[in-house]
Amino acid sequence: MSGPMADSRRRGLWSPGALLAGLALLAAPFLVAGFLGEGATFRMAAAAMICAEGYTPFVGAALGTWLLLGMAVLGARRVAGANGPLTALRNHGARLWILYLLLITPFLLAWATDSSACIRGKAFFWQSVFIETFILAILAASYNLMFGFSGVLSFGHAAFFGLGAYGVGLLMKHAGMDLVPAMVITIVASAVLGLMVSGIALRVHGLYFAIFTLAMAEILHLLAANRIFVDLTGAEDGFTFAVPDWINAASNRMTFYYLSLGLLILTFAVIYRLIYSPSGRVLAAVRDNEQRAQMLGFNTFTYKTLAIVLAGALGTMAGILRGLLNKGASPNVLGVGFTVDPLLMTIIGGTGTFDGPIVGAFLLRLAEQLLRDTVVSLGPWQVNIGERWALLLGVLFIASVLIFPKGIIGSLRFRSKLSASREDETM
């Protein structure tokens, strides 16, 4: 498809009308909370309503706005040839609906657990679970950019993730840096590491490159755990560092929740815009047939470098969030698990899809949390699911691959396109 309609579809969610409508939807519950609450000022009233325990008028306003958004999405899907905000709702309405649901999740958790979203309790705990899920989703999306969209197989993506946690922590603890400069320097270091990795990618390909990245990550893991650097990294025990109060997850967890969700949205937006750009089409060509792309005159090394460096920077950002959440770092963030997990999440959700890795991260992390304390009784026997989570994960992975060979999102889209083509043939 080409022309104005194609440009409108590519803009989709990012059109000015859609952004203004989204801001209005987000502001509505807070306005209602302020008007319905009691207090000397609007700010105090809204804060009292937001931090209240259980169901409040704010929760009702948030749910009502979410339902109105859902009705708008369904209505837009029935409108043919619409432009502007309606096109955004038709093409990205489900994403907007889910995004808004995630925005009000802390308050829904407070309602479901009859606790407050602002102080320690069950809702406070579940916010941390969602924060970890957002971090894993960023990591999986960054891996998918390199593997799914560019065809670069890596077994050492944990090196970038661990660099984020260690880099920001060491700079803040030993160099006395503030948070923002430490983050900037860590991401720059990640870009340098990405350039070094891409330089090797020019000389080795496929499985050999994957083995090289695995060895690189393992070297960093061994260095972090080595007793020689115990005064610097804490060796196998890791180290802790102080974080600013405004981002301290122990006291301001809701702030951290929205920060991590915002960075997940930023990650999605960056990857989305890249893949729908001319460079993204070249990356797809490199993934499908690198030699043919070279014959067409493209410098495939440059585009692979772009994918590796950007994916590494996004993975480092996820690592920074992990370090800030735990206020520390240990060698396990450089372990192979943080390469295997995003790989599994990408495959389960759908390789080469925008939503697949995020869906995979949510399924695996939330399923693990829900099943961790589950005990199933089978007559005289009792099975603790949490103790056998790794086994259950393997069974779920095999089942998902058999049922959804292209991943959940990839298979659903393939079946939808197949169904649409069959309908066109019968017309």
The single-letter DSSP state of residue 354 is S
Location of structure tokens 């969209």 = 149
Structural element, H or E, at residue 85: helix 85-113
What's residue 192's pLDDT? Answer: 94
Counting as low any pLDDT under 70, the low residues of the chain are: 1-28, 30-43, 45, 77-89, 201-202, 418-427
**Half-sphere exposure in the Cβ direction for 232 (13 Å, CA):** 12
Structure tokens given for 365: 């992390």
Question: pLDDT tens digits for 57-69?
Answer: 778 878 888 887 7
What's residue 19's pLDDT? Answer: 52
Which of 25, 45, 22, 29 lies closest to 111, judged by CA?
A: 29
E strands of 91-204, at which residues?
none
Structure tokens given for 250: 């122990």
What's residue 84's pLDDT? Answer: 59
Q: CB 27: neighbour CB atoms within 10 A?
A: 11
d(CA 412, CA 403): 11
Report residue 127: phi and psi, to 5°.
Answer: -60, -40
Which of 141, 148, 140 lies closest to 287, judged by CA?
A: 148
The answer to whether 338 touches 162, Cβ cutoff 8 Å, is yes
What's residue 32's pLDDT? Answer: 67
Query: Apex CA 142: angle with CA 260 and CA 272, to 5°?
Result: 85
Domain boundaries, the chain: 1-119, 122-348
The single-letter DSSP state of residue 41 is S
Share of the chain above pLDDT 70, in %: 83
d(CA 191, CA 409): 30
Structure tokens given for 409: 């999102």
The answer to whether 320 touches 333, Cβ cutoff 8 Å, is no
| Residue 63, C-beta contacts closer than 8 angstroms, at least 6 positions apart | 104, 108
d(CA 282, CA 289): 10
3-state secondary structure of 280: helix
d(CA 218, CA 339): 11
Which of 348, 266, 308, 351 lies closest to 159, judged by CA?
A: 308
What's residue 402's pLDDT? Answer: 87
- Report pTM: 0.88
d(CA 377, CA 384): 9
Amino acid type, 171:
L
Q: What is the per-residue burial (b if ≥16 Cβ within 10 Å, else e) of 385-398? A: beeebeebbeebee
Structure tokens given for 188: 């720059």
- Looking only at the bridges linking them, the beta strands covering 239-240 and 375-378 are unpaired
Report residue 384: phi and psi, to 5°.
Answer: -85, 105
Structural element, H or E, at residue 376: strand 375-378
What's residue 102's pLDDT? Answer: 92
Structure tokens given for 283: 């990356």
d(CA 333, CA 163): 9
The answer to whether 318 touches 143, Cβ cutoff 8 Å, is no
Radius of gyration of the chain (CA): 23
